[in-house]
Structure 1
C-alpha cells in the first residue's frame, strides 16, 4: 500500500509539473499561438488591381503600415478592410478586385508584425494600427464603411466605437479573443494568461453604426455562437446571416459580397 501511495504521489507531482509547463509555454509563447504571421506581401503586379496603389500609413508612434488603396467611384463608399489572422492582407486580393469592379474603393493593410508591416504584434498595436488606417482613409474625404474579418472584427469594432463610419460589417467575429481561447483550451485559466483579449463584447455597445454579422454554423475556428452574441449586443443591428454548413473561410464563396453590397446600400441610404 505504501508503494502504491508513493506511486500516486509521484504521478500527482509529475502531473502538476506538466501542467505548470503547459501554463508557462502558453504564457510566454502565447502570441505564437494566437497569430499567424507567416507568408509574404504580394505585389500589386501579381493581381488584377491595375488602378490600386501601394501606400504607407503612419502610426501615432512613428511606425508605418503597408497597405493597398484605391478610391471609390462617384457615389460609392470606401471600404476600410480589417484583415483576418492568417499571413498578409494581400493574399485576399481577389476580394479587393471584386470591390473595385463594383465601384467601391478600399484600403487594406497589414497590422504591425505581419508580413507587410514591421514591428511587434500586440493588441495595443493592432488597435492603434486600426485607428491610424481609419484616420488615413478619412482624410481622403469619402464615405467610409468598415469590414472586419475574424481577428479583424476586434479592431474594426474598436474603431467603430471611437470613430464615425456609415456601417460595420463583421465576418465570422468573436465576442472576445479570450472567449475563443476558452472554447479551445477549456482546461487552462486563459483569462489570467492572455495579454491580448480583444473585448468586442464591450466595444460593440458603443457602436452606433448599423451592424451586419455573417457567420457559418460549421465554423470550427470561431464558433457561430460568438457571432450571435456580438449581434445581440449591437445597439443598431441590421442583419444576422447564419449560413448552414459554412466554415470559417467559406462565407465569401457562399455569397457574402452580394449580401454586403445590399447592407452597404441600405446603410448609405440611411445616412443620406
Structure 2
C-alpha cells in the first residue's frame, strides 16, 4: 500500500536573501520487501506529464540542502519524487549500499506513475546513480536514466575517500560513526550473492535512453568509471565529462542540473 499526507513544505520558511524552494509534500512508500521509505513530491513547474525520481548518494537525504536545491531546479522541468534510501534519514531498514536499494527506487518510480506522470525518469547521484543503472537494467519501467558520479563496479578502493567509505561500511566503528554522524544505518555482513555491477546493468538498459555524467575532478571515482559504464551500454546513450566538476550532489551547479533536466525532458 502507498500512503501519503500533505504537511508544510520541507525546511520551513525561506531564509532572508535566499531563493524560496519549491514546496514539497511528504509521502510514505512501502517497498516490495516491506521497508518504509520516506519520500516527498515536489509538483512540476515545467512539463506536467514528466516525473523525475531523484536518488541521492550514500549517507545523503532528501532533506539535505544540496538535494533540496537540485529538487527545486529539476521541478522546472517536471514533477520530482525525492526519497531517502533504506537506512538513511527517516526511512526504515538498513542500507545495503546499492543492493536492495533498487526496491526503494522502484517504489518511488511506481508512486510517480500512480500520481499521474505519464513519463517517469530517474536521476541518481553516486550510489544513487549505481542504483539507477541497476534498477533500469534489472527491473526497468522508466523512460530515461541519468547516472551522475556513479561507480562502474563494486569494491573500488583506489582513492582515499573510497577507502574511508569502505571503513564505514565494513568496520563496527565505521558503522557507528555513520549512524551517529550521518543518520545512516548500514547492514552488517557481506553481500550474498554479489549484485550485478553497475556497468553490467548498463548493458541491459537499451532502448531506454541513458546519460552518464562525471566530473574530471571527482575525488571518489576517476573517469574510467564513467567510460566503463558508457562503453558497456548500447545506444541511445550520451557521456558528459564535466571540467572541474567534483562529486555528486554537493558539487553539482544549477546550470549542470538544468542541462540534465532539459535532457530528461527531451529524451523521455
Q: TM-score range by the shorter chain?
A: 0.7 to 0.9
Residue of structure 1 in register with 2:55 after alignment: 82
Q: Structure 2 length as normaliser, TM-score?
A: 0.73
Which structure has the larger Rg over C-alpha atoms?
Answer: 1
The separation in 2 between residues aligned to 1:76 and 1:181, in whole angstroms, is 41
The separation in 2 between residues aligned to 1:46 and 1:254, in whole angstroms, is 21
**1:171 aligned to 2:148?**
yes
Q: In structure 2, do the counterparts of structure 1 residues 99 and 251 end up closer, same or farther at CA, with 3 Å as the change threshold?
A: same
The separation in 2 between residues aligned to 1:256 and 1:141, in whole angstroms, is 27
SS in 2 for 1:147: strand
**Higher helix fraction: Structure 1 or Structure 2?**
1
Q: Structure 1 length as normaliser, TM-score?
A: 0.72
Residue of structure 2 in register with 1:153 after alignment: 129
Deviation at 1:198, TM superposition (A): 5.7
**Structure 2 spans left out of the alignment, 5+ residues:** 1-8, 15-19, 167-188
The CA deviation string for residues 92-145 of structure 1, in whole angstroms up to 9 with x for no partner, is 111111122x24200111111111202111144312212222122222231111
Deviation at 1:57, TM superposition (A): 0.6
CA RMSD in angstroms comes to 2.6
Aligned length: 219
2:82 to 101, 108, 111: 108
Confirm or deny: 8 A CA contact 1:214 1:251 kept in the other structure: no
The CA deviation string for residues 132-164 of structure 1, in whole angstroms up to 9 with x for no partner, is 221222222311111011000122112212222
**Structure 1 spans left out of the alignment, 5+ residues:** 1-41
Matches within 5 A, 1:1-272: 43-45=10-12, 48-49=20-21, 51-72=23-44, 73-91=46-64, 92-100=67-75, 102-122=76-96, 123-142=98-117, 143-161=119-137, 162-178=139-155, 180-181=156-157, 195=191, 199-208=197-206, 209-249=208-248, 252-253=252-253, 255-268=255-268
Confirm or deny: 8 A CA contact 2:42 2:71 kept in the other structure: no
